[in-house]
Amino acid sequence: MNQIKPRSLRGFTLIELMIVLAIVGILSAIAFPSYTRYVAKGKRAEARAALLESAQYMERQYSAQNAYSGTLPTRLRQVPVAPSTANYSLTVSATVSAYTLTATPVNAMVGDACGALVLNNAGQKSRTGTAMSDSECWR
């Protein structure tokens, strides 16, 4: 006589699956905000670099023409240059003897805690947002 032996079942139980999902949920709740802050910090660094490059452009214009230019070249008007992926739009407000450069967040950076980054001809750095300090936004 053949006796049928019970097959051992393999796989995960529902409890094991729920524990794994809870752990993944907790880890993602911690990791995702940190990641988004890190990405925003990198995009702000690009904007700061573009503002400093624009300031150099303005100073070259002043050296050549004894007046600040009221416009920026096309390559300095947004960061990065491709319009579909731009994170900041750069504008200049200039008089003969002074200028103010502003990097305004667009697209993915609209809700940034620093708001717009501002740099003037005296080298003073500021921001329009209130959630972070000038030193936090400009480091």
The position carrying tokens 């967040």 is: 105
Q: How confident is the model at residue 9 (pLDDT cuts 50, 70, 90)?
A: low
The average pLDDT across 4-14 equals: 72
Q: pLDDT, tens digit, for every residue of 90-127?
A: 999 888 888 999 999 988 888 888 888 999 988 888 88
Q: pLDDT, tens digit, for every residue of 32-64?
A: 888 888 888 888 899 999 999 999 998 998 998
Model pLDDT, residue 114:
85
The pTM of the full predicted model, rounded to 2 decimals, is 0.75
Q: Strand (E) positions, the chain?
A: 78-79, 88-94, 99-105, 117-120, 125-127
Highest averaged pLDDT of the listed ranges 2-11, 63-72, 77-86: 63-72
Answer with the residue of higher pLDDT: 5 or 134: 134
Q: Exposed/middle/buried for 87, CB within 10 Å: 0-12, 13-18, 19+?
A: buried
Going by the DSSP 8-state scheme, the letter that residue 6 receives in this structure is P
In angstroms, the CA 134 to CA 114 distance is 8
